[in-house]
Structure 1
Amino acid sequence: MNAARDLHPAQLRSLLHFYADAGVEWLLEEEAVDRFAEFEAMRAARGMPAEREAPPAFQQQSGQQQPNPQQGTRQAPTRQEQPRAAAPAPAMPTVAIPDSQAVAEAEFAAGSARSLEELRTAMEAFNGCNLKTSARCLVFAEGKAKPSVMVIGAMPNADDDRDGQPFSGRQGAMLERMFAGIGLSRADLLLTNIVPWRPPGNRPPSQREADICRPFIERQIALAEPNHLLVLGNFAARFLFRSADTIHQLRGEWREIAVAGRSVPAFATLHPQDLVTAPISKRLAWQDLLAFRAGLNG
């Protein structure tokens, strides 16, 4: 196996991109994790019995005569009784929530919230989306409660999932530089995502997952009452504009989004991750941001 120092920079870059696409985020955890204890805790939570050591295959029974190697006659071996295997524990039934039921439950939970804090509590208690089982935490909206600008991305990434806040790490730093260029700061905004739980390996959310999460993001917009929306990236733009066009067809133009009987001006541009992976796209994003700023002033 080749060491990293033996690889050409282009080869090393390709290898790192391959690891990132495969979902590899770090080589070692910061603290040791006892996976066996996690597995046993999971079994206990599901009501399954803990694994026990298997009994020996053959056991000496009390009073059983043992063969004597000094005797001239050979004794027929006594047949040992095999221990009976324990009956397998009944499998816990897995109940799948139908899509329509999960969407209805999400609509009820979102509609019952009268503030962003109540909505956070409702989303933390919601179990109808399978992404919750693999994510570390809920990544809820963060920032100004009644903002002039609400920024909406697609989903949390690994940094967001670890820190519990949207647009963390390298993407967050890129976003802050983007806004600084047009005179805005993170404190002026409300930042959130369409999907509040990170999909495994940063894969795109499925249509089912997006449909289940739609009531929550629409309720966030209704409760925050922003004057303008800035939509970041392909998935978020298609989702909110209900369009099959790509981000390059949707970016750079103002559109209206109807939420809870209210029309909100929305503007789409590239996601910070697009700029991290393809720096040449920064010029397009800069053009969009200037047009977005002009729309705010107008």
Structure 2
Amino acid sequence: MSVNTPKNRTLLSDILAFYQAAGVDEALTEEPQNRLQQQPEAAQRTADASAEKEPVKASPATSVAAPAAPRAAIPDESQAIRARELARQAQNLEELKALLADFDGCNLKYTAKNLVFADGNPEADLMLVGEAPGRDEDLQGLPFVGRSGQLLDRMLAAIGRDRTTAYISNVIPWRPPGNRDPSPLETEICRPFIERHIELKRPKVLVTLGNPSTKLLLNTQTGIMRMRGTWAIHRTASGLEIPTMPTLHPAYLLRNPAHKKLAWRDFLEVKKKLSE
């Protein structure tokens, strides 16, 4: 098929647009591969696999055990319990980040490029929590650095804040494949870490960005459009009560710019609370 025709260029453009909308944003290999030419190799691998089934007695002097490849844990309730036990062990943010980096109970870790822990000033009195990293965040290992992050920076600037006077994190520290929504079990496994994160951070004011983080951290099923603009309380395991402002996620505001005025009102309330 010749690419240099208007019809074929349009067809290829439509295919690429579909892949992008489906979350296919990275190639598996640097060079395209002709799968038809790999058939002999596949046949050889099948023959090799059959040969490996035959028992082979290795000499004790020459037998060497191959290192086992890391295997993803089965995400179940036991992993959520394990996450709660580990999160409680952290005595500061550095320890929490190290525990999270070593934690293998969430399979999202094996499809993400980087752990996205936090950004900003750990000593700031303002903490903002979103849901999960996207592609740009996964590549850089920092939360809110893509288009929605740029908008969040402008929202902070509107109340005289930036990343030197605010602290930003997410409920989920690893990017879900294709930017899909985290499953309820994945969220529950990650919950103890963000709750301990907030408890160790002890912000004066907490802002939940969007529906998922609001529902999780405020333990509610009420939607963000009804919750936003009204102060609530996030209670930590130790009994600390933190004033919390639910507001709209920057990614939502990029799709619905008319609602930026609502987020502006919410941030004015945050500014007022911080000045008290």
**Alignment match, 1:266:** 244
Cα 1:254–1:210 change in 2 (3 A) is same
Matching residue within 127, 130, 133 for 1:150: 127
Instruction: Compare relative contact order (CA 8 Å, sep 6+) and give the higher one, 1 or 2.
Output: 2
- For the residues of structure 2 that align with 1:20 and 1:95, how far apart are their CA atoms? 27
Provide the aligned length of Structure 1 versus Structure 2.
246
C-alpha separation in 2, matches of 1:52 and 1:199: 31
Distance 2:190 2:44 in 1: 46
- Contact kept in structure 1, 2:112 and 2:174, CA below 8 Å: yes
The answer to whether the aligner puts 1:297 opposite 2:253 as a matched pair is: no
- Answering whether residue 251 of structure 2 is matched by residue 286 of structure 1, we say no
What's 1:54 paired with?
44
Letter in 2 for 1:54: Q
Provide the alpha-carbon RMSD of the alignment: 3.2
After the TM superposition, which residues 32-181 of structure 1 pair with which residues of structure 2 at under 5 Å, given as runs?
Answer: 33=30, 54=44, 85-88=50-53, 97=74, 99-181=76-158
Cα offset for 1:21? 3.5
Residues 47-76 of structure 1: CA deviation (Å, up to 9, x unaligned): xxxx89739x9xxxxxxxxxxxxxxxxxxx
Q: CA distance change for structure 1 residues 184 and 89 in 2, over 3 Å: closer, same or farther?
A: farther
Mapped contact 2:124–2:164 kept (Cα < 8 A): no
**TM-score with structure 2 length normalisation?**
0.79
Aligned to 1:75: none
Where 1:266 maps in the other structure, the secondary structure is strand
Partner Cα distance (2:197, 2:166) in 1: 14
How far, CA to CA, are the matches of 2:24 and 2:74 in structure 1? 30
Q: 1:108 to 1:292 in 2, by over 3 A?
A: same
Report the Cα distance in structure 2 between the residues aligned to 1:134 and 1:207, rounded to whole angstroms: 18
Partners in 1 of 2:9 and 2:31 — Cα distance?
29
SS of structure 2 residue aligned to 1:155: coil
- Name the SS of the counterpart of 2:222 in structure 1: coil
C-alpha displacement of 1:266: 0.4
Unaligned runs of at least 5 residues, structure 1: 37-50, 58-83
Q: Which residue of 2 aligns with 1:196?
A: 173
Contact map agreement 2:151 2:250 (CA 8 A) in 1: yes
Deviations along 1:118-176, one digit per CA (max 9) or x if unpaired, are: 11110011000111111111100122122200110000011000000011121211111
Is the 8 Å Cα contact of residues 122 and 201 (structure 2) preserved in structure 1?
yes
AA aligned to 2:262 is L
**Pairwise mapping of residues 193-272 of structure 1 onto structure 2 (< 5 A)?**
193-259=170-236, 260-272=238-250
State the SS of the aligned residue for 1:223. Answer: helix
Q: Secondary structure of the residue that 1:159 maps to in structure 2? A: helix
Question: 5+ unaligned residues in a row in structure 2: which ranges?
Answer: 1-6, 34-40, 56-68
Tell me how far 1:2 sits from its aligned partner: 5.4
Q: Is the 8 A contact 1:174 1:272 kept in 2?
A: yes
Distance 2:54 2:83 in 1: 34
CA separation of 1:271 and 1:85: change in aligned 2, threshold 3 A: closer
Render the CA deviation track for 1:86-134: whole Å, top value 9, x for unaligned: 25499x9x88536221012111211111111111110011000111111
- The aligned residue for residue 48 of structure 1 is none
- Partner SS, residue 44 of structure 2: coil
Paired residues of 1:147 and 1:225 also in contact (CA < 8 A): no
- Is the Cα–Cα contact under 8 Å of residues 258 and 264 in structure 1 kept in the other structure? yes
Assess, with a 3 A threshold, how the Cα gap between structure 1 residues 54 and 24 changes in structure 2: closer, same or farther: closer
| Contact 1:147–1:189 (CA under 8 A) maintained in structure 2 | yes
Give the structure 2 partner of residue 24 of structure 1.
24
Per the alignment, residue 69 of structure 1 pairs with: none
Identity among equivalent positions (%) equals: 41
